[in-house]
A and B are shown apart, each in its own frame.
Chain A
Amino acid sequence: MGPWKHLRIVIALAVLMFQTGAIVYARFHPTRYFCSAPNDAITNFKVKVISEGRELTESDIQKRYRFFRYGYDDRTPAHILDIITQYETTYGKNEHASVEVTYSVNGKPQEIWQYQH
C-alpha cells in the first residue's frame, strides 16, 4: 500500500472522527456545529444593538453579523448568540456595544440574552 493510499485512509478517518468528536462535544456545549443536528429546534429571535449611544438599524445589524435583525433559525439560539459573541469579542471589541437578543425556542415563552462589554 503506497503513501497516498495511507493518506487517503487517514483523511477519511479524520473526517468521520471529527464528526464523532463534534457529536460528543455537543453534549457539553449548547452549539450544535458539525454534529448532524439539523432542524432540531426552531428559534424566533430579535436582536437589538446599542453602539456609541445609537440603536443600530436593520441594515447595520445585517452588515455587522450577516444575519437579519429578527427572524427564525432552524437551530438552537446558541448559534446566533455564538456569532454575536464572536463579533463583539473580535471585530467589534473596541465599539463597546451592548446587545440584547430576545428569543423563543419552539414556541416557548421568550427569553432575553444580553451582551455587555
Chain B
Amino acid sequence: MAVSALIHRFWSSSWNPLRNNLSGLPPHVVVVSKAFAIFLIIKSLFFWSTLRFREPYLPFLAIFDEIGHPVIIQKILQVGLYGSALGILFNRHVKTFSLVAGSSILLSILSAKGSYSNNFLFTSFILLLVGLQMPGQNKSSWIRYQFAVLYIGAALNKLMEPDWQTGLFMDYWMNKLPIPIFQKLAALFPPMVFAKAMCWLTIAAETTLAALALSNRLTSLFIFLGIAFHFALSFFTGRTYGWFFPMLVVSYVAIMPWPTNPIKVLYDGDSPFHEKMKSLMKKFDVDNYFRWTAFQSAENRHGLTTEQLKDKLHVVVDGKILAGFKAFRTMILYNPLSYLFFIVLIASMSPGAALSTPTRILLGSLLLFISPIFIPVGEAAFSFLAKRRYKLASTSV
C-alpha cells in the first residue's frame, strides 16, 4: 500500500516526467526539450552511444586553447549536458536547462572542430530557441525561423553545387550507401536521369519548405510536407542522421497550432465501448488536456444531433468539431505523450546509425496515419468498430 501511495504521489507531482504543462512553456514546445532529454538518456544508458563531447582541440575560437585544462572543460560541458537533461526530464526550470543544454553542445562544437556536425548543431540551436521562447506565446516563432534558415541553407548549398545540378552526387550516393529502391528505379531510365531528377526534387522540396516555413497561414501544410519529406528520406536511406531526424520531427510539433482551450470530447455515455475508450485515453492524458463529457449530460452539444453523437465520438478543438477517426487522430496528435513515445521508440528501436526494419515500418505507418489519404480507411475502420461497439465491449471484458 505504501509503495502504491508513493507511486500515486509521484505520478501527480511536478516531478512526473510525463507531465508537460508545468514550466510556463506550451506543452508542445516542452516536448522538444523532453525529446532531447529522453533521447540522450536512452542512448547513454542502453546503447552507450551519445553526444560525443570531445575535449577542446583545434577549436573554432582560439580562446578554448587558453582557458583551463581541456579535460576539465570537457567534463564541465558534459555535466552541463546531462544535468540539464535530468532537469528538463523532471520539469525543473525547463527553459533555463534548455539554454544550458543548448549552450553546452554549442560550446563543445566551438571548442573542437572535430566535434562539428550539423545534427549536433541543429540540436543545440533548437534547445537554445526553446529556452528563449517568449512568455505567453502559444507556439515557437523562433523555431519556425530556424526551419526557414535551415532549409534556405540546405537548398542554396545544393543549388550551387555542380554535382547536385548534374545528379552526380545522388548517383554516387545511392550506389555507395546503397539505396536499393533508388538503384532499381534508376535502372528504368537512361543513365543519370533518375539521379538528376532526385537532386532537383530535393532542391525543390527544400526551397518549398523554406518558403512555407515563413508562412503562418500554411503551417499545417508545412508540417505535413516537412515530416513527409524527412520520414521518406530516413525510410529510403535507412538513416536517422544522428540527432537530426528525431529532433527535427519534434521541432515541427513546436510550431503546430496548439489548442488554447482544453479539448472537449463528447462521447456516448450509454456505450460501454466509449466508456472503455475513455478510461484508456485518460490514462495517457496525464496533464488533463481532454475533458470527456457524456453527450447525454452535456450542457453544450455544439449543434450536434443525438443521432450524430450516438453514431460517432466527437471532439471540439477551439470551436472546430471533428468526428470518428479524425477525432481519435486529434486526440493522439494533441497529446504531448504521443511524441515522447515516438522518441522512445526511435531511440530504442535503432541502436546504431542505421534504421532497423521495425523502425522503418513504424515510420511508414506513422506517415500513413497523419496522411490525408488515410482518412477514408481510418473512417471505415471506425465505422466498423462503431457498429459493433456494444458487442465488442461485452466480449473484450
Interface of A with B (CB < 8 Å)? 5, 8-9, 11-12, 15-16, 19-20, 22-23, 26-27, 32-42, 65-67, 79, 82-83, 86-87, 90-91, 105-108
Q: How far is the CB of A7 from chain B (nearest CB, A)?
A: 9
Give the chain B neighbours of A108 by CB distance below 8 A: 163, 168
Q: How far is the CB of B97 from chain A (nearest CB, A)?
A: 16
Q: Does B113 contact A (CB under 8 A)?
A: yes
Select one of A27, A34, A67 contacting B114, CB under 8 A.
A67
Q: Does B244 contact A (CB under 8 A)?
A: yes
Asked if B112 contacts A66 (CB within 8 A), the reply is yes
Interface of B with A (CB < 8 Å)? 54, 57-58, 60, 65, 112-114, 116, 118-119, 121-122, 125, 128-129, 132, 134-135, 142, 145-146, 149-154, 156-158, 160-161, 163-164, 168-169, 171-173, 176, 241, 244
Compute how far the CA of A12 lies from the CA of B226 in the bound complex, rounded to whole angstroms. 23
Compute how far the CA of A65 lies from the CA of B114 in the bound complex, rounded to whole angstroms. 8
Compute how far the CA of A117 lies from the CA of B12 in the bound complex, rounded to whole angstroms. 66
Compute how far the CA of A108 lies from the CA of B28 in the bound complex, rounded to whole angstroms. 45
Compute how far the CA of A43 lies from the CA of B117 in the bound complex, rounded to whole angstroms. 15
Give the chain A neighbours of B135 by CB distance below 8 A: 5
Give the chain B neighbours of A36 by CB distance below 8 A: 118, 122, 149-154, 157
A-B contact pairs, 20 of them (CB 8 A): A11-B128, A12-B128, A15-B125, A16-B149, A19-B125, A26-B153, A33-B60, A36-B150, A36-B154, A36-B157, A37-B154, A38-B118, A38-B119, A66-B58, A66-B114, A83-B58, A83-B114, A105-B163, A106-B173, A107-B168
Indicate whether A19 sits within 8 Å of B153 (C-beta atoms), given known contacts A38-B244, A66-B114: yes
Asked if B153 contacts A15 (CB within 8 A), the reply is no
Which residue of chain B is the closest to A76 with respect to CB atoms?
A: B161
Compute how far the CA of A54 lies from the CA of B257 in the bound complex, rounded to whole angstroms. 63
Indicate whether A91 sits within 8 Å of B58 (C-beta atoms), given known contacts A26-B157, A40-B169, A106-B169: yes
